Amino acid sequence: MTVEDIRTLGSPVMPSRGRQRPLGLTDVVLTGGFWARLQDANAAATLRHCEEWMEKLGWLANFDRVADGTTGPDRPGWSFSDSEVYKLVEAYAWEHGRSGDPAADEAVRRLTARIGRAQDVDGYLNTAFGHADQPPRYSDLEMGHELYCVGHLLQAAVARLRTTGADELVAIAQCAADHVCATFGPDGNQGICGHPEIEVGLAEFGRALGEDRYLEQARLFLDRRGHGTLRDISLGRAYFQDDTPIREASTWRGHAVRALYLTAAAVDVAVERDDPELLAAVERQWTNAVARRTYLTGGMGSRHQDEGFGEDWELPPDRAYCETCAGIASVMVSWRLFLATGDVRYADLMERTFFNVLAASPRADGRAFFYANPLHQRTAGAVADDSEVNPRAEGGVRAAWFDVSCCPTNVARTLAAWHTHVATVGERELTLLQYASAHIEAPGGLAIEVTTAYPDNGHVSVRITRAPSGPVTLRLRVPPWATGAELAEGGRCSTVTPGFAVIDRELVTGETIELTLPMTPRFTWPDHRIDAVRGCVAVERGPLVLCAESLDLPPGATLDDVRVDARVSPSERDGTVTVHAMTDPAPAEPWPYAPASAGTRGLASTELPLIPYHRWAERGPAAMRVWLPVHAEPDLP
């Protein structure tokens, strides 16, 4: 193939088949609102912020030192720090494609030049292995992350291919991918990488170049996994999903980001190889993990020890890990499944995860991030110093940079292309999945303008700015919580049920379709098998999970003391949601286990304000709870 064949305005995931097709990067343009603000902060601050940190810490200079032959055992950064550079390049590339900002293009070129100088003549590219005084290539497949880094390089090259066409970065990536295929092909090293990512990188790079060899190598890596191919480690082989073949597994387990990156690649292979058995296996795993191993926020990963899924029903809110990267990886999986199957449940989970994991991570200025996203902070964290690297992925305060700093660059690349998840197309069909003010151009001549203040309120206005002749199908996703949603179109107003509201007729240029989603705050109750939040209730409003912060408590009260009267529905006034609550500041007993249930003592009633979970800790360190202990429950209907 030649460069001319390459579609230059693609989007991150472009399967060759599927029930739904993605739009291109500039087919959707955000015009304001919640996600435009996040995207603007990303462009204005986060990209440069990441580059500056990686320059300061020497992670960029690692490439120069390999090129100059001066690297060695004193190389700074974890073995996988190259991947952060590639994720940043990917983010810059999408940002350049989206906005046309020449500075972003220049950044890609600047970084590409440094990366390229470090590549060995046979295509091997890594700054932590294989050079003077470093461990040999592929000497630690379990934890070395060499193939993982290449996977991120390939995703960066995909971004470049689909925004500017082939360039030096793409050439570097091709050399690296060819080296991987030559080294790990059917007759080569039979290993796999301890951290999946090469698979999803190879699959998309193969799709972007029309190069089947890369897809085949991805399939090979997938099929090798799950047979004890890697050495056992103290966390067990489930940590890197090498315990059970992906076709046989019933749920996600082990390290959450690893499990989800692997699953994303499995969807790609299943779709491209027309492998319904593999697709069914992935759908089964999604179904089981979402039913029993997922937090109300959409967050995944219950354990700090291995950054991993716990067991079914093991969902502690305080020790929830819910890594930002795992939320992004969950979106990667659900997006691919939605494109393959058209099943609305995947888009539903994406919205939940976008608003309550992805949006929670970056600070408003785009210069600090949450890594873990617990649903309960017991004590206010320390104030973070923006000039320091945070050694720990916890603490209840957004940090400028981390010792393991996977999340900032992952947020950056995801936000730069966030708008590509807003809508999909089918045969004479446009489906609106996420609600944001935007211009959308669909193939076949349909253009619309969406205007909304969602999620501040539930009104979504869709104006047809250009209608094609003949009937088209316009579908608007109605979230599962939106009981009583209303659709006004063609002079009719009707109630629509969760799923898709469908308009199937010839549209008229200039007409407006109005969807109204109910945004009354509501109580949400957990399954009784989720031990860690038994006797608690949460409050949601539209797609937003709400939380209580200690800053809003009456003087002298702590979040440990609060109990909600769930007989009184949450109320909203002047944009503030409150619940009717009591505080019970009972002193701690010498031994906290007693022969009789203590009941309640000295209750003081209060109206407790709640805020969106994604905004927590914005006013400084605070204790926080999503799940609120219940003092009194409503009678069952």
Binding residue for a copy of itself (CB under 8 A) from 227, 529, 567, 619?
529
The residue whose two tokens read 């608690």 is 536
Is the four-CA dihedral 625, 631, 636, 637 of positive or negative sign? negative
The pair of three-digit structure tokens given for residue 25, joined into one six-digit string = 């990067």
236 binds a copy of itself (CB under 8 A): yes
Q: Rounded to 10 degrees, what is the CA torsion of 609, 613, 617, 618?
A: -90
The nearer residue to a copy of itself, 30 or 536, going by C-beta atoms, is 536
The pair of three-digit structure tokens given for residue 244, joined into one six-digit string = 């059970």
One-letter amino acid of 203: A
Considering the complex, what minimum distance in angstroms separates the CB of residue 531 from a copy of itself? 7
Please give the DSSP secondary-structure letter assigned to residue 255: B
One-letter amino acid of 324: T
Which candidate, 172, 208, 213, 216, places its Cα nearest to that of 11?
Answer: 208
629 binds a copy of itself (CB under 8 A): yes
Considering the complex, what minimum distance in angstroms separates the CB of residue 422 from a copy of itself? 23
598 binds a copy of itself (CB under 8 A): yes
Which candidate, 568, 571, 482, places its Cα nearest to that of 519?
Answer: 482
Burial 588-598 (b: 16+ CB within 10 A, else e): eeeeeeeeeee
Q: What string marks each residue from 542 to 581 as x (binds a copy of itself by CB under 8 A) or -? A: ------------------x--x------------------
Binding residue for a copy of itself (CB under 8 A) from 61, 85, 290, 372?
290
Cα distance between residue 422 and residue 430, in whole Å: 11
Q: Which stretch binds a copy of itself (CB under 8 A): 111-119, 178-186, 433-441, 519-527?
A: 519-527
Per the CB < 8 A criterion, the answer to whether 11 and 25 are in contact is yes
The nearer residue to a copy of itself, 162 or 376, going by C-beta atoms, is 376
Binding residue for a copy of itself (CB under 8 A) from 76, 228, 535, 602?
535
Which candidate, 534, 539, 533, places its Cα nearest to that of 608?
Answer: 539
Considering the complex, what minimum distance in angstroms separates the CB of residue 243 from a copy of itself? 12
The nearer residue to a copy of itself, 27 or 584, going by C-beta atoms, is 584
User: How many residues bind to a copy of itself according to rule CB under 8 A?
Assistant: 70
Cα distance between residue 391 and residue 382, in whole Å: 13
24 binds a copy of itself (CB under 8 A): no
Q: What is the DSSP string of 128-195?
A: SSSSTTSPPTTS-TTT--HHHHHHHHHHHHHHHHTTT-S-HHHHHHHHHHHHHHHHHSTTS-----SS
385 binds a copy of itself (CB under 8 A): no
634 binds a copy of itself (CB under 8 A): yes
The nearer residue to a copy of itself, 159 or 375, going by C-beta atoms, is 375
Please give the DSSP secondary-structure letter assigned to residue 406: H
412 binds a copy of itself (CB under 8 A): no
Binding residue for a copy of itself (CB under 8 A) from 527, 567, 604, 618?
527
Considering the complex, what minimum distance in angstroms separates the CB of residue 110 from a copy of itself? 32
591 binds a copy of itself (CB under 8 A): yes
Is the four-CA dihedral 180, 184, 186, 191 of positive or negative sign? negative
78 binds a copy of itself (CB under 8 A): no
- Contact footprint for a copy of itself (CB under 8 A): 232-236, 287, 290-292, 294, 296, 303-305, 310-314, 316-319, 345, 376, 378-379, 391-392, 403, 480-481, 522-538, 560, 563, 584, 586, 588-599, 629, 633-634, 636-637
